[in-house]
Chains A and B, each alone.
Chain A
Amino acid sequence: MSHADMTDIATNQQMPGSSDTKIRARDVHVFYGQTEAIKGVDVDILSNTVTAFIGPSGCGKSTFLRCLNRMNDTIDSCRVTGEILLDGGDIYDRKVDPVQLRARVGMVFQKPNPFPKSIYDNVAYGPRIHGLVSNKADLDSIVEQSLRKAALWDEAKDRLDQPGTGLSGGQQQRLCIARTIAVNPEVILMDEPCSALDPIATAIIEELIDELRENFTIAIVTHSMQQAARVSQRTAYFHLGNLIEVGQTDQIFTNPRHQLTEDYITGRFG
Chain B
Amino acid sequence: MVAIADLSAQHGSENSARKLKRRRMAQLRLQTYGIMAIGFAALALVTLMWTVVGNAFQAMSESYVTLEVPLDDPELVSGDAEALNRFNYDGLVKDVLKAEFPSASGRTQRRELYDLVSSGAQFELREAVLQDPSLAGQTVTVELLASDVADLYLKGSYGSLEARPHEGSLSIVPSEDGDTFQVTSTTPDFAEALAQAKLALLDQAAFQRNQARLQNRGVEVFGRQAEETADPDERKRLLAQVETRSAERDRLLDVADGLEARARQDGGAEALDTSAPSVLLRVGGGWLKMIEVNDNGGIAEPVVPVEPVESLPADAWGYFIHDLPEASRKVSDRQIVWIETLKERGQVDTVFNTRFFTAGDSREPELAGIWGAAVGSFWTMLVTFLLAFPIGVLAAIYLEEFAPKNRITDFVEVNINNLAAVPSIVFGLLGLAVFLGFFGVPRSSPLAGGIVLALMTLPTIIIASRAAIRAVPPSIRDAALGLGASKLQTSFHHVLPLAMPGILTGTIIGMAQALGETAPLIMIGMVAFIVDVPTGITDSATVLPVQVFRWSDFPERAFEARTAAAICMLLLFLVLMNALAVFLRKRFERRW
Contacts and interface: CB of A to CB of B under 8 A. Distances in A.
Interface of A: 69, 71, 74, 76, 99-103, 106-109, 111, 113-116, 125-126, 129-130, 165, 176, 179-180, 183
B218 to A, nearest CB: 84
A-B pairs with the 3 shortest C-beta distances?
A103-B484, A107-B482, A113-B475
A33 to B, nearest CB: 12
Interface of B: 404-405, 473, 475-486, 489, 493-494, 498, 590-592
16 contacts: A71-B478, A71-B482, A102-B483, A102-B484, A103-B484, A108-B482, A111-B475, A113-B473, A115-B476, A116-B592, A125-B493, A126-B483, A129-B493, A130-B484, A183-B483, A183-B484
A71 B489 CA distance: 16
B484 A176 contact: no
Nearest to B488: A99
A168 to B, nearest CB: 15
Contacts of A109: 475, 478-479, 482
A108 B480 CA distance: 11
A239 to B, nearest CB: 26
A69 B489 contact: no
A113 B476 contact: yes
A71 B481 contact: yes
Q: Which of B473, B475, B481, B590 has the most CB of A within 10 A?
A: B481
Contact of A126 (B484, B590, B592): B484
Given A76-B404, A76-B405, A115-B476, A180 B482 contact: yes
Q: Which of B405, B473, B479, B592 has the most CB of A within 10 A?
A: B479
Contacts of B493: 125, 129
A111 B473 CA distance: 12
Nearest to B591: A165
A237 to B, nearest CB: 25
B479 A176 contact: yes
A106 to B, nearest CB: 7
B401 to A, nearest CB: 10
Contacts of A99: 484-486
Contact of B484 (A100, A108, A115, A165): A100
A106 B483 contact: yes
B479 A74 contact: no
Contacts of A125: 480, 483, 485, 493
Contacts of B498: 116
A111 B478 CA distance: 11
Contact of A116 (B478, B486, B590): B590
B10 to A, nearest CB: 39
A129 B478 contact: no
Contacts of B479: 109, 113-115, 176, 179
Nearest to B475: A113
Nearest to A111: B475
A129 B484 contact: yes
Contact of A74 (B481, B484, B590, B591): B481
A74 B477 contact: yes
A108 B587 CA distance: 30
Contact of B489 (A74, A107, A129, A165): A129
Nearest to A182: B483
A114 B480 CA distance: 10
Q: Which of A113, A130, A176 has the most CB of B within 10 A?
A: A113
Contacts of A116: 476, 498, 590-592
B408 to A, nearest CB: 14
Contacts of A107: 478, 482
A76 B478 CA distance: 15
Contacts of A176: 479
A102 B481 contact: yes
A12 B485 CA distance: 36
A102 B482 contact: yes
